Structure 1
Amino acid sequence: MIHDGHGRTVSYIRLSVTDRCNLKCFYCRTDGEECFIDHSNILSYEEMLRLVQAAQTMDVTKLRLTGGEPFVRRDFLAFLGMLREECPGLDVRITTNGTLLGGKVPALKHLGIQRINISLDTLKPERFAHVTGRDFHDRVLQAIDDCLHYGLTVKINAVAMKGINDDEIAAFTEFAKTRPVDVRFIEFMPIGGCSHWKKEYALPARDIIAAVSAVADITPVPKHAINDGPARIYEIKDGLGRIGVISAMSDHFCDTCNRLRITSDGRLRTCLFSDKEYRLRPILRSPRLGNEALLRVMRLATQHKPLGYKLLEKRLLGNSVCSKVMSSIGG
């Protein structure tokens, strides 16, 4: 078991397999022309597998694969097969926008994927097109139904934005009440210096819960372990699903953070609110450096993992809490 300098156990890695996405959500990218990581700098699946295996020797037990949109990358299902074969016992999960899941859910089930997070900020098709730049709303709803049909545990991630989708909190609550899913509202964060972010968009967790409580009888679910994740979860009376809030802005959870992030070009980030990165790709591609060098850097990074809320307090005086856009960090 590995601990950071603040005594937190690190057992979870979020690995971005690509920075590319088939949606154009305004809060995930900067204005202007899209700029993607050069293909030659993207880690191969073999390099990613080596990273994951190294992490397992540090007692990492949970891996979340993100993007961009992970299903945009060619042979992603084959990579899942590699992980299943080479990393037994690893809890592999996926975060996706759901638009490319059509026909793939049975394969995910076969490959041992039991849990999936699907991003969905609105239940209104026309608003979905406005937020994402694509008319794929029906695809996402079908993906949710398919995942539930095949027995996957589904969590819906909805970025809560005042004046954008705060009028849908009641509808999302009803969605959770009638389906066995967790709908988790995420506070809007100023990541990447995006000029679209305004303080007026911020919707704190207390306001979200107040809006949910106005339409449903909810009860907080006690947390039993760090692996329960950052969301505060509420049961809905007579409901099939639950409501959650992730309050990274208004009520931080830094004291229980147990994760590291690795970008698709092999940069290890220990905190979403920090621009500090540790370059793993040169080690992976050096014929002279083996896994010991890789582990040395990963352990060093873990030891210096900061308390993000201290960075947040300082950087909120400016435009954003980190300079990279969310699609390049890994959502």
Structure 2
Amino acid sequence: MTEPFVLTDRFGRVHDYIRISITDKCSLRCVYCMPEEGLEFFPDDKVLSKDEIIQLVKNFAALGIKKVRLTGGEPLMRHDILELVEGIASISGIEDIALTTNGLALARLSEKLWNAGLKRINISLDTFEADKYREITRGGNIKQVLKGLEKASQFPFKIKMNVVVIGGQNDNEIIDFLKYSIEHPVNVRFIEFMPIGHTNIERDNEMWKHKYKGVETVFDICETNGWDYKPIDFAGNGPSENYQISGAKGSFGLIHPVSCRFCESCNRLRVTADGYIKSCLYWDDEESIRPYLNDFEAFKAKILHSLDMKPENHEMALAENEKSQFQKPTWRHMSQIGG
């Protein structure tokens, strides 16, 4: 019997998880995802088609990938999102399909997404305050997101809430999100603000340093409020360290890409909306795999080469300490990678 293929990098990390950005378009302009001046989106013919994405996932399934996350931009802006989810769900070897969304379209699409085969949803929500949400997203309507969250909660999705912690902007709401995890069966994930895709390096680096706040402050808030918590195993594909407050319906997770407890167990590869493979979120290394989708051996060679180039660490913390970098940071903004 033939042994199943296993994608392993030179540091022994097994990769069974692919994140695919299916569009760079988004209905919001979040401060950590896009520059204030906005971005010029890819023309439609530059973005992978539904059939190309399904073929891509078939190829990855043959290489041992079991878990797929669809990201953006905002993936629910694609008109063919339901057919795409259904097509991926039918691929042999794919055990889990997840999606990251800003939640604006969930009230309309939750039931259809569940019926198509989606199992997990991550909703980006950095504040519960309407004015602050409008500020962070540059125009978003929080009522629409909360309606979407309520609708999605009516189905058996595993739901996570992504909260990017921004110093001086929403860090005072960490306590509110922890209370939400106590009262609702949701995994609230506190994510460090990352220096990705700076347009004006000097300006944006100063902004990032001013707004960066380590997520370990969550523990201090728990202790101040007398909340006992313990580490838990949490089924899923993400890099978070997960905990649960005693008696809580949900849980919380910490994702610290800057303070560097992020890379050592990284099992992810990323494909951009225009068909480039990225083995590391932070660095510029990427290769086009779109021309090889129908040539499996050539496709496999490209993936193995990309995996061989994957660094042990993205060195964001080293950059923060003004130490040398050995590679060039990515030119892409977060909305063009998919996080």
TM-score (normalised: structure 2): 0.90
Counterpart in the other structure of 2:252: 243
1:260 to 261, 264, 269: 269
State the identity as a percent. 33
1:255 is displaced (CA, Å) by 1.4
Quick check: 1:201 aligned with 2:211?
A: yes
Match of 2:229 in 1: 219
Q: Deviations for 1:134-176, whole angstroms, at most 9, x for unmatched residues? A: 2420111122121221121110000001101011011111111
Q: Give the Cα separation in 2 of the matches to 1:189 and 1:88.
A: 33
Residue 141 in 1 paired to residue 146 in 2? yes
Which runs of no fewer than 5 residues in structure 2 stay unpaired? 1-5
Distance 1:170 1:311 in 2: 27
Answer whether contact 1:205 1:245 (CA < 8 A) is retained: yes
| 1:274–1:308 Cα contact (<8 Å) kept | no
Unpaired runs of 5+ residues, structure 1, are none
Total equivalences in the alignment: 326
Q: 1:127 to 1:185 in 2, by over 3 A?
A: same
Q: Aligned residue for 1:269? A: 278
> Map of 1:281-296 to 2, 5 A cutoff?
281-284=290-293, 290-296=295-301
Aligned to 1:26: 31
8 A Cα contact 2:244 2:251, kept in partner: yes
Secondary structure class of the residue paired with 1:83 = helix
Instruction: Supply the RMSD in Å over aligned alpha carbons.
Output: 2.2
Describe the shift of the 1:228–1:50 C-alpha distance in structure 2 as closer, same or farther (beyond 3 A). closer
Amino acid of the residue matched to residue 241 of structure 1? Answer: G
Distance in 2, matches of 1:311 and 1:129, equals: 29
Deviation at 1:80, TM superposition (A): 0.9
Q: Does residue 58 of structure 2 align to residue 53 of structure 1? A: yes
1:131 matched to 2:114: no
Cα displacement (A) at 1:53: 0.6
**What secondary structure is seen at the aligned counterpart in 2 of 1:255?**
coil
Moved more, 95-104 or 246-255: 246-255
Q: How far is the alpha carbon of 1:237 from its aligned partner? A: 1.4
Q: Which residue of 2 aligns with 1:90?
A: 95
Contact 1:10–1:302 (CA under 8 A) maintained in structure 2: no
Q: Give the equivalent residue in structure 2 for 1:324.
A: 332
Other-structure match for 2:172? 167
- The SS at the match of 1:159 is strand
* CA 89–12 in structure 1, closer or farther in 2 if over 3 Å, else same: closer
- Aligned partner of 1:113 in structure 2 is 118
The runs of 4+ residues in structure 1 deviating greater than 6 Å are none
| TM-score normalised by L of structure 1 | 0.92
Corresponding residue of 2:85: 80
1:209 is aligned with what amino acid? F
